[in-house]
Amino acid sequence: MKFTEGLWRVKDGVKLYHPAHVYDYEISKDSVIVFAPAHFITNRGQTLQGPVFTIRFSSPFKDVIRVQIWHYKGQKSKKPYFEFYKEEGYCPCIEDFSDNIVITSGKLRAVINKKDEWKVEYYYEDKYLTKNGYKYFGYAIMADNNTYMREQLSLSVGECVYGLGERFTPFVKNGQVVDMWNEDGGTISELAYKNIPFYITNRGYGVFVNDPGRVSFEVATENVERVQFSVEGEYLEYFIIGGSSMKNVLENYTKLTGRPQLPPAWSFGLWLTTSFTTNYDEKTVTSFIDGMIQKDIPLHVFHFDCFWMKDMHWVDFEWDKRVFPEPSQMLKRLKEKGVKICVWINPYVSQLSKLFDEGKEKGYFLKKPNGDVWQTDDWQPGMAIVDFTNPEACRWYSEKLKKLIKMGVDCFKTDFGERIPTDVVYFDGSDPQKMHNYYTYLYNKTVYETLQETFGKGNAVVFARSATAGSQKFPVHWGGDCLASYESMAETLRGGLSLSLCGFGFWSHDIGGFESTATPDLYKRWVAFGLLSSHSRLHGNSAYKVPWLYDEEAVDVLRFFTKLKCRLMPYIFAKAVEAAEKGIPVLRPMVLEFPDDPACEYLDRQYMLGSNLLVAPIFSPDGEVQYYVPEGVWTNILTGEKIVGGRWRKEKHDYFSLPLLARPNSIIPIGSCDTKPDYDYAQNVTLNVYELEDGKTASVTVKNTNGETELELEVKRDNDKISINVLRDTQKPWRLLFHGLNLKSQFNALVSKKEDGCEVVLESADKKALLSVEKTEL
């Protein structure tokens, strides 16, 4: 939202007030409260008029500073509020100097100017991050007397802004107007299902606006030197989040708003759905699952979309008996084929549903101000919306889900949650404007915790479309309704990259596109991208997504990449554990891994899968791809080709290949099983060592499916000597494979020369080994 017209003028009808200077302040053990009038006060007579802003600086834990700004403090505060973590008893260091007040939290500090005009500067150690200067903050009174609080934070030369949710617009947000308002708008516009009022920049800090309502961001637009954010009302709150790197900033942000739970290992396998409006019954579903088995394509989850329930009855949580006459027996038969079961749900209840009268009678739905149930025909006839601020409604909804779980359902696709009205009354009195975005948090929390209560921690997973800040705690999320085109495939990736920089560790998308039918070419290219995402689902609107409906090669391509992902699971699952423990996403923009490489700042057609695998999906029917490789010698793990980095590459690939590069000085664990994602990762694992440089140490950790470490080791090269140090061992057999090196054993290692390198097996239980590098490489 814009309030000014360039440098000099305020928009017609707008009155804008700014803190002029620090007039007075109070320092306590844990905070600084500053009183800043909107004009310079030089005599007592000037104290007789306002406004005066009350600005509080505090810290919930180290490296994070909280800023709270009030104009009027007498307004009633209404729910909902974002949940955020505060370390009990934590107090920042506060120093009062002659010219400024310094509040230091860890290595992050705010310097509040006491002399002259208003200014607050933020530093991490000695590095300048951003500032709030004179006339940056503004209190606006509009022509209709509505009021807004506006803040601006400076941008430096070359500073790029990322995040703000799953956005399908350009990856770098500079020059964009972004409003936090969840919409069911597909992937083709500035509308987004997942609006997160958090941004991060390549200067190594983040800003989280602590307001679940409509926060309006002007990112280098109203003022090209600043990021502006504004909210309606008399109060504004935000956090400055520092860190030693962009990764560390994400760690601190997810410590503040919540880390993702670890999804079960089986959820990383291939998901297949009925698709949306297609016709299906048990015979159809069984033919799909049997077809995948017969064609040797590992399938791990089968999803029933909306029409598992009777049309116009969504949701009643009852199988449509016309096509599924014996659902319990059907699910038992399907699960005997080795698949988990997912079913579609949403938080809406049709007037035709058996649940409608029950929910109405007990007061479980959103209401109009006059007490009537709020209803609409937009989606289902006369549908109502479950009020998740009512604890009894949550229990009611949860009990319906538990009946399905008892029947054999393993997880739920929690669709919708964006079309939430604001002309309603909530059970707990929540502000309906702020609940519009926050509703999805309560919806998915209810479903996720129902699954977790039944299956235990680490065994719950949803497939969610809508989100707000904190929703990352309830994985997994998918990208919504995309089109069957290369352009939509690329915008889908942009959305995933933006979402990952908001602390969402796990993300998926509809392979082949949701709307319309993909060409065989697009389907096969999207399969490679989809199976190299954290979660992988074949789904569409009016077309089935089984590969044999495209062509026979599509069957082979899907088999190839599904089995590749199964073998990569020791690597992927270790990165999943890192996402759960630290908030570092599995899918990572290049800038997150290479923040000091300016070539990575705008890259949005490639990504890092974890820290050590570069993926460049192919977005053209001719199989050509142009991508950037950072410094060092990288190795394509599919072809063995070595690629010198620090430059752009242009390549052409068939459908069984794409740029999938191992980072230099990395160890990629490859599992022994290619038929499922949940197996013993340490059993016969191959630890592939790529391009170990002199003076470098590479390390690897192999987890089990509970997220516990089973095998951990490091490999160090010193000139022509390579030392192996096993930090944690398992009694299970494992081996190292050094690619492109000719090695000899010096101590405790059995070396065998292979076509693509040297295999090394420790000869005894000793935790160390020594190798020598021959002058000639293989």
pLDDT of residue 775 exceeding 80, the answer is: no
Confidence of residue 765 (pLDDT cuts 50, 70, 90): confident
List of residues 6+ apart from 567 with CB closer than 8 A: 670, 671, 672, 673, 674
624 is catalytic: no
How would you write 41-95 as a 3-class SS string?
Answer: CCCHHHHHCCCEEEEEEECCCCCEEEEEEECCCCCCCCCCCCCCCCCCCCCCEEE
- Provide DSSP, 302-350: EEE-GGGBPTT--S---B-TTT-S-HHHHHHHHHTTT-EEEEEE-SEE-
pLDDT for 516: 87
Please give the average per-residue pLDDT across 270-274, as a whole number.
98
pLDDT for 746: 94
* Tokens read off for 596: 């000091």
pLDDT of residue 777 exceeding 70, the answer is: no
Distance (Å, rounded) from C-alpha 54 to C-alpha 455? 48
Cis peptide preceding 633, ω within 30 of 0: no
Distance (Å, rounded) from C-alpha 33 to C-alpha 354? 55
* Tokens read off for 459: 């065994």
pLDDT of residue 45 exceeding 70, the answer is: yes
Please give the average per-residue pLDDT across 422-429, as a whole number.
98
CA angle, 240 then 245 then 249, to 5°: 35
pLDDT of residue 778 exceeding 70, the answer is: no
**Cβ–Cβ under 8 Å, residues 208 and 227:** no
CA distances from 445 to 440, 449, 734 (A): 8, 6, 40
pLDDT for 671: 98
Cis peptide preceding 325, ω within 30 of 0: no
Distance (Å, rounded) from C-alpha 414 to C-alpha 701? 33
Please give the average per-residue pLDDT across 319-328, as a whole number.
97
pLDDT of residue 74 exceeding 70, the answer is: yes
Phi-psi group of 150: left, alpha or beta (phi > 0 → left; psi -120 to 50 → alpha; rest → beta): beta
pLDDT of residue 393 exceeding 70, the answer is: yes
pLDDT for 776: 53
* pLDDT tens sequence across 326-357: 999 999 999 999 999 999 999 999 999 999 99
Report the side by side order of strands in the sheet with 24-27. 24-27, 32-37, 52-58, 64-70, 235-241, 205-209, 198-201, 161-163
CA distances from 480 to 72, 415, 509 (A): 40, 9, 7
How would you write 481-524 as a 3-class SS string?
Answer: CCECCHHHHHHHHHHHHHHHCCCCCCEECEECCCECCCCHHHHH
Between strands 507-508 and 477-478, the pairing is: parallel
Q: Is 172 helix (H, G, I), strand (E, B) or coil?
A: coil
Which amino acid belongs to residue 357? Answer: D
* pLDDT tens sequence across 281-302: 999 999 999 999 999 999 999 9
Distance (Å, rounded) from C-alpha 514 to C-alpha 278? 12
pLDDT averaged over every residue in the chain:
97
Give the phi and the psi of residue 263 in degrees, each rounded to 5: -70, 160
**Cβ–Cβ under 8 Å, residues 627 and 599:** no
* Angle between the N-to-C axes of helices 327-335 and 282-294, in degrees from 0 to 180, rounded to the nearest 10: 0
Percent above pLDDT 90 for the chain: 97
pLDDT for 153: 98
Q: Is 404 helix (H, G, I), strand (E, B) or coil?
A: helix
Handedness of CA 420, 421, 425, 429 (dihedral sign): positive
For residue 599, the 8-state DSSP code is G
Which amino acid belongs to residue 603? Answer: L
How would you write 611-640 as a 3-class SS string?
Answer: CCEEECCCCCCCCEEEEEECCCEEEECCCC
Distance (Å, rounded) from C-alpha 745 to C-alpha 772? 6
The residues pairing with 199 across neighbouring beta strands, listed in sequence order, are 163, 207
pLDDT of residue 138 exceeding 60, the answer is: yes
Distance (Å, rounded) from C-alpha 120 to C-alpha 111? 5
481 is catalytic: yes
Rounded-to-10 torsion of CA 640, 644, 648, 652: -20
pLDDT for 49: 85
Catalytic residue among 415, 578, 604, 710: 415
List of residues 6+ apart from 774 with CB closer than 8 A: 741, 742, 743, 744
The residues pairing with 440 across neighbouring beta strands, listed in sequence order, are none
Please give the average per-residue pLDDT across 713-732, as a whole number.
95
Catalytic residue among 232, 305, 481, 491: 481
* pLDDT tens sequence across 642-657: 999 999 999 999 999 9
Percent above pLDDT 70 for the chain: 99
Catalytic residue among 218, 232, 418, 604: 418
Distance (Å, rounded) from C-alpha 688 to C-alpha 759? 9
**Cβ–Cβ under 8 Å, residues 251 and 583:** yes
pLDDT for 50: 86
**Cβ–Cβ under 8 Å, residues 151 and 387:** no
* Tokens read off for 249: 């900033």
Please give the average per-residue pLDDT across 297-316, as a whole number.
98
Please give the average per-residue pLDDT across 490-495, as a whole number.
98
* pLDDT tens sequence across 521-577: 999 999 999 999 999 999 999 999 999 999 999 999 999 999 999 999 999 999 999
Which amino acid belongs to residue 537? Answer: R
pLDDT for 750: 95
pLDDT for 360: 98
Rounded-to-10 torsion of CA 262, 263, 266, 270: -130
Handedness of CA 165, 167, 173, 178 (dihedral sign): negative
Between strands 411-414 and 477-478, the pairing is: unpaired
pLDDT for 2: 96
Distance spanning both ends of the chain, measured CA to CA: 61
756 is catalytic: no
Cis peptide preceding 476, ω within 30 of 0: yes
- Cα 83 to chain centroid distance, Å, stands at 17
Give the phi and the psi of residue 297 in degrees, each rounded to 5: -105, 110
